[in-house]
Chain A
Amino acid sequence: MNQNPEIIGTSPKRVDVREKVTGAARYGSDLKMEGMLYAKVKHAEYPHAKILSVKTGRAKKLKGVAAVATAADVPGNPAFGAIIIDNQPIAGDKVRYLGDAVAVVAAETEAIAEKAVSLIKVKYKELPGLFDPRDALKPDAPLIHEDGNLIVHHKTRRGDIEAGFAAADRVIERSYSVQRVDHAYIEPEVVVAYFEPDGTLVVKGSHQSIFNIRSAVSGVMGLPLSKVRIVQASLGGSFGGKDDVMSVLSCRAGILAQQTGRPVMLSNSREDSLIESYKRHPYFMDYKVGVKNDGTITAMEIKMVADGGAYASMTQFVTWRSVVHATGPYRVPHVKTDVYGVYTNNTYTGAFRGFGSPQITFAYESLMDEIAEELGMEPLEFRRINILHDNDITATGQILDHTVSVGQALDVTTSASGWEEKRARFPKENSGRIMKRGIGLACSYRGVALGAEGVDATGATVRIHSDGSVDVATGLVEMGQGLKTIFSQIVAAELGIPIDKIQYRPTDTSLIVDGGPTVASRSTIMGGSAVKKAAIGVRERLFQAVSEKLDVAPEDLIAADEKIMLKNDPSRSVAFLEAIALALETGLNLSCFGWHLSPPIWWDEEAGKGDAYFTYVYACQIAEVEVDPETGKVNVVEVWAAHDVGKAINPDTVRGQIYGGVATAIGYGLLEDVEMVDGVTKTMNMDEYLIPTAMDVGKINAIILENYDKYGPYGAKSIAEPTAELCAPAIANAVYHATGKRIRDLPLNLERIVLGHKLIKKKRRVR
């Protein structure tokens, strides 16, 4: 039972922000150590080449150089990987993209390390490169890895696709593509590695999923998991981006620490980060849709190719999410979807907020508008005919046994934005004005947590100390999303104590059991459930002690207002502190571990069907834009974003997630593109890789919908990722409404079309 419900659904001040506003928080690059060396990486000079020799003699001789390591110095496995073990922290036989390392250097200063890198001479035999993922499966394509260029092929099958098209009055085919984008967290990647006297390798830094990194480091360093400690520093943004790349940095620094016996810092410059770190997958997507004249969708046949780049990373999982959701939140009785993830010699791609959904959402939501127009319908009307409702069946054959709120999301956003009126008014006004206005929408559904892509379980420990202070530890990490605050709120609610009594313990693999990665917007629903169990577990022990004292049954007690009291007679109570003393006197353990395993779900890879996720969230976003037809510049004037989160445990953090996700999606829609030409990254820093500034993001209206979910703590589900999957197609649809131009490739860089070249960025302030 919920003990102190008031704190759930409020927004207490974040528990980790005081140190951030004063500049005291310590991020990876602030972790200087006595005797520390600085590392630099010798990167590949060809995107695809055999390494014939690496000459390090001159570098080693340079004064101030402590070590130079090549693949020959890797103590354990040459590579690591989530499923396919293919990512080499230092390349041995060949290089597969320009972010590969052929050698790493540790020196007294960064400048010396850089100089040493320039003295390393590598002989290569250049191999033909593969840069277009659509060529990857052709018989004459260069082989990136020995087992072929196919990383994965997923499918979804429902009904009878031929019958579905036969039942249609029209068949509409469209192709869409999306670009490669960077996480562009403001803090580039950084680690400090050192050995403890007992031989434990410690790697502190800007880590996201500490246990994934631990297993990579353990394998590559040839150390048992128990002798690798991954510790997270304050993290300057991640968004899915600080996993594999952090494993790579950790291994490189670990090898140098081992060779020198000294702490080693490896910090990426922004240029290093743009070249080396994995990106969001570019997709090529072909849709064929059967539809009746009354607007009913009868069939969808979808084929997609995802560019995995040089290493598999999370490609299997990212593309699986795409194959499950490719038809969007619509009833489609006959479905045939195939997604191929392939290797190329481009920068590898992996997890990025959205995880295989921003790509497909752009395609299917652009498509919904296109089909509506073909049928002479309004986009809203057409969607309403086809959207999912309670107890409908998804493309993968799953019955939705929770509140399906996509219709509600459409209702609230369209009414808040004045949709009907603006859809009618803007076209009339546009003929008489220079700047053209438009409004567009997009909606989605999204499976919560990892889904049937893997076992999903996580743990937490709550400890009550003798002085009444409490701490909580989990293996999930704060990335700015507010996890520490939300978990502290849950503990406060269950123990009936103020939030300032609760301390969140450091995120360190040596302090807590493996709770899986902090990904898939799973922290609140999975981690929150584990924290709640741990808090309830420890509370039961207090109740046991108090029940003896008051001579009542433990079930009749509640914890609130720093007291343990009788539910029906609050005047009979014991102070929290006294309850602790009673429990300790009787030898009770006031530390409790909670473990939460997700409800059963399944996936049949052969048949392409299954109950893919235990629950789903639903959302709709509307974008109002203004387009300058002369320059093609698009201003996002206002956005309305409605997201069903089950229950907002902390509404301020939910809103923060919505604002941030929308801004990221505005960048995806309009600005961002990691341009690569023949494997060479052209956007090398933030002057060329443009992300939205405060002037690029208009007013955002965050609308929180709450439909209790039986699987979440207090009914809560998730928020982080769906916020980033909708605004790009909403903008595309709005641009069409404003200009009549349908753009099927992101970014919607109208400058390119109108001016024939890309946007020249406004000069930023220098001084």
Chain B
Amino acid sequence: MKKLKLNITVNGQKHTLKIDPNLRLLDLLRENLHLTGTKEGCGIGECGACTVILDGRAVNSCLILAGQCEGREITTIEGVTPEDGLSPLQQSFLDNGAVQCGFCTPGMILSARALLDHNPTPTEAEIREAISGNLCRCTGYTQIVEAIQAVADGREEQQGSL
């Protein structure tokens, strides 16, 4: 198979890579760049475990070819984690008991982050809608919604930078 040249920025870092044209963004992140915080739960765009932020929008990385990301910017869970400590959303998930098994957590946090970037004061219904593409089997969503709400309300502000 003919390799494709790809320029992509991931978590602020520029990469130039040679990739298979049928490589999924998810595999690029997990296999080529070893960013394993992005998870795979279904492979067909239904569970949201593979959510990353692509040019400011939350997307399912299992549905996107790496080749479609030429010149674009990706943020993964590794990219939202500050050098020291946790981002407000991460801290809030920790504080509000929003994590059980944790498999959905990276995707949830990125969907929440994309929401708050566009709408810093969402209603509960808007939060629920924003994470409705992220399935969680453990938590019943209650504490996840509370965690996101807490950040939106500024209750988690002091903990770090978004």
Contacts and interface: CB of A to CB of B under 8 A. Distances in A.
Given A21-B86, A694-B131, A766 B45 contact: yes
Contacts of B37: 22-24
A767 B93 contact: no
B153 interface: no
Given A21-B86, A700-B142, A767 B63 contact: yes
B46 A685 contact: yes
B135 A686 contact: yes
A270 interface: yes
Contact of A20 (B38, B59, B105): B105
B144 interface: yes
Interface string B24-39: 0000000000011111
Interface centre among B76, B100, B131 (most CB of A within 10 A): B100
B21 to A, nearest CB: 14
B143 interface: yes
Contacts of B137: 183-186, 237, 239, 660, 663-664, 691
Contacts of B134: 694
B144 A13 contact: no
A662 B143 CA distance: 13
A296 interface: no
Nearest to B144: A694
Interface size bucket, A side? Answer: 35 or more
A235 interface: yes
B140 interface: yes
Interface in B48-94: 49, 54, 57-60, 63-64, 76-78, 81, 86, 90-91, 93-94
B46 A700 contact: no
A185 B35 CA distance: 22
A13 B44 contact: no
B103 A17 contact: no
Contacts of B93: 17, 21
Given A21-B90, A26-B36, A766-B60, A691 B99 contact: no
Contacts of B97: 11, 14, 652-653, 655-656
Given A270-B42, A660-B139, A22 B132 contact: no
Interface in A202-245: 234-239
A19 B109 CA distance: 13
A183 B54 CA distance: 31
B142 A693 contact: no
Contacts of B60: 765-767
B103 A186 contact: yes
A5 B143 CA distance: 26
A482 interface: yes
Interface centre among B37, B41, B78, B103 (most CB of A within 10 A): B103
A761 to B, nearest CB: 9
Contacts of A658: 140
Interface in A647-688: 652-653, 655-656, 658-664, 685-687
Contact of A480 (B45, B49, B64, B100): B100
A269 interface: yes
Given A663-B141, A697-B140, A700-B142, A481 B46 contact: no
Contacts of B127: 694
A697 B128 CA distance: 9
Contacts of A764: 45-46, 132-133
B138 A237 contact: yes
A237 B101 contact: yes
B140 A236 contact: no
Nearest to B90: A21
A480 B102 contact: yes
Interface string B117-140: 000000000011101111111111
A22 B141 contact: no
B40 interface: yes
Interface residues of A, dominant DSSP: loop
A171 interface: no
A186 B36 contact: no
A447 B44 CA distance: 40
A655 B143 contact: yes
Contacts of B152: none
A309 interface: no
Interface residues of B, number: 59
A656 B100 contact: yes
A186 B135 contact: yes
Contacts of A700: 140, 142
Contacts of A564: none
Interface string A529-562: 0000000000000000000000000000000000
Nearest to B57: A767
Interface centre among A23, A652, A765 (most CB of B within 10 A): A23
Contacts of A286: none
Contacts of B133: 693, 764-765
B138 A480 contact: yes
A14 B103 contact: no
B69 to A, nearest CB: 11
A27 B41 CA distance: 12
A588 interface: no
Contact of A656 (B64, B94, B129, B143): B143
B47 interface: yes
B104 interface: yes
A687 B36 contact: no
Contacts of B76: 23
Given A186-B41, A186-B49, A18 B86 contact: yes
B117 to A, nearest CB: 16
Nearest to B104: A186
B145 interface: yes
B100 A766 contact: no
Contact of B138 (A11, A14, A660): A660
Contact of A695 (B54, B81, B128): B128
B86 A693 contact: no
A687 B44 contact: yes
Contacts of B86: 18, 21-22
B17 to A, nearest CB: 18
B160 interface: no
Nearest to A269: B43
Contact of B145 (A14, A184, A234, A694): A694
B19 to A, nearest CB: 15
Contacts of B131: 694
Contacts of B141: 659, 663, 693-694, 697
A29 B49 CA distance: 13
Interface centre among A18, A658, A660 (most CB of B within 10 A): A660
Nearest to B95: A13
Contacts of A342: none
B96 to A, nearest CB: 8
Given A185-B101, A187-B103, 6 more contacts: A23-B81, A26-B36, A237-B138, A659-B140, A766-B59, A767-B59
26 contacts: A13-B94, A17-B93, A17-B94, A18-B86, A18-B94, A21-B91, A23-B38, A23-B77, A29-B39, A184-B135, A186-B49, A234-B102, A236-B102, A270-B41, A479-B101, A659-B139, A659-B141, A663-B139, A686-B42, A693-B141, A694-B129, A694-B136, A694-B141, A695-B129, A766-B63, A767-B60
Q: Which 4 A-B pairs have the closest CB atoms?
A: A23-B37, A20-B102, A659-B140, A236-B103
